[in-house]
Structure 1
């Protein structure tokens, strides 16, 4: 049971990381365009 929770949490964590990385990338691109 615990192993499933850990796997599920890892999946959510990796999804959030990917989303955050994508947001950071898009904001950095926006900053470069503003200059």
Structure 2
């Protein structure tokens, strides 16, 4: 999967939210720990 166009936001030190805004929609791609 290409992550081009997606944003990553830190929720806590360990967890991140990966999402994309498309028109009037918020697409959540991943809501889990950050890769290492």
TM-score of the pair, normalised by structure 2:
0.18
Q: Which has the higher strand share?
A: 2
TM-score of the pair, normalised by structure 1:
0.18
Q: Which has the higher helix share?
A: 1
Larger radius of gyration: 1
Larger RCO: Structure 1 or Structure 2 (Cα < 8 Å, ≥ 6 residues apart)?
Answer: 2
